[in-house]
Amino acid sequence: MVRGQGAFTWDVDGNRYIDYVGAFGPLIVGHAHPAVVEAIHAAVDAGGSFGATTPAEVRLAELICSRMPSIERLRFVNSGTEAAMSALRVARAATGRDLVIKFEGGYHGHADSLLVEAGSGVATLSIPGSAGVAEPVAAQTLVATYNNLGSVAALLDSHAGEIAAIIVEPVAANMGVIPPEPGFLTGLRQLADGAGALLIFDEVITGFRVAPGGAQELYGVRADLTVLGKIIGGGLPVGAYGGRAELLDLVAPTGPVYQAGTLSGHPVVMAAGEATLLQLTPAVYTAIEARADRLEAGLRREGVSVARVGSLLTLFFRDKAPSNFREAKECDAISFSQFFHRMSDAGVLLPPSQFEAWFLSMAHDDAIIDATVSAASNFGMA
């Protein structure tokens, strides 16, 4: 790809596509939104990077905290991988424990201990983990089944007093979009509290996308620590982790947990993130939700299912939408591959995996949605 504008991208051969990849999530305002471009230009003109805190970093942090009340303090990093890795380090320091529970098919970046039974590209390539990860590191991560509180309770019981944290995508979006079943997130909160473990929400995908306050607002469950990325940098390299003040006080220089990054809080990234979040008014969320609903309705056909939360959705080649990773792996991946290529030929760019989410932006208007549905209908979807 060489250019993007609004809901469209162009490849090196000049072909135009309706884009549902959106850099895998952050471009909720569309490609090259004027306010974001202007903010980036102004930050570059002001000198770029300083290796010191800037007003833009403070403003963006305050904006994030105001929309996600569970985040009293936060630290910026340069990727979601860094953010998740750092959040787990804080959790281990806070609890004095080593083990972590994650969920099969959940993806939290490519830090060594989190590549166990991961989703996203790991699932697409059918890699059980990754070469180069030492067994003692992998053994620190226990794997539960998403939407199954019993599997979590069993691990907490069998490793009593050893679990530092439960880390979860509140809406699973790296095995395809799989919503939490009623009571699942509340149950995780209760189980974590009962075991003395921290609850970490990885909202790299859901944060500021499914609601102004992320999945925590949508489902009314408060996390101890939250992992953010992508969208808070307007699509530029960024991540952040935050939570209760006493937990973030454990991070140096106020505490013993070391984390640093020369380019963390880069002024250009902060400017793009602030400009993006300022566009996200209640009216924008309402409009995107309506168009996502229109797309969902248009895609529903016999033999496939559609799962959607806000402006995230996945079309599954399975009669019933899955509720966990095992069921997601039962989808007809060959049919999805054929569908992906045919849609690409028709000028619609989808995430190239059955295990990824489609991302709508405020630039996807009704005409674009209808063109997408029409393209899908031309290939046996009607």
Query: Would you please indicate which residues are annotated as catalytic (active-site) residues?
Result: 107, 202, 230
At residue 231's C-alpha, the angle toward residues 173 and 342, to 5°, is 50
Using DSSP bridges, classify how beta strands 225-229 and 163-168 pair: parallel, antiparallel or unpaired: unpaired
Tokens found for residue 272: 């793009």
Give CA–CA dist 306/286, Å, rounded.
Answer: 20
Using DSSP bridges, classify how beta strands 141-144 and 99-103 pair: parallel, antiparallel or unpaired: parallel
Give CA–CA dist 203/168, Å, rounded.
Answer: 9
Preceding peptide of 253 cis, ω within 30°: yes
Tokens found for residue 161: 């007093």
Give CA–CA dist 34/358, Å, rounded.
Answer: 23
* Alpha helices, H only, 177-266: 184-195, 214-219, 245-248
Looking at beta carbons, which pairs linking 280-285 to residues 24 or more positions away fall under 8 Å?
280/28, 280/29, 280/208, 280/212, 282/212, 284/362, 285/211, 285/212, 285/310
What DSSP assignment string belongs to 241-286?
Answer: EEE-HHHHTTBTTTSSB----TTTT-HHHHHHHHHHHHH--HHHHH
Give the number of other Cβ atoms within 10 Å of residue 189's Cβ: 17
Residue type, 5: Q
Question: What is the three-class DSSP state of 49?
Answer: coil
Give CA–CA dist 217/207, Å, rounded.
Answer: 10
Give CA–CA dist 240/323, Å, rounded.
Answer: 28
Give CA–CA dist 313/306, Å, rounded.
Answer: 7
Looking at beta carbons, which pairs linking 42-48 to residues 24 or more positions away fall under 8 Å?
42/271, 43/267, 43/268, 43/270, 43/271, 43/272, 44/268, 46/267, 47/267, 48/267, 48/268
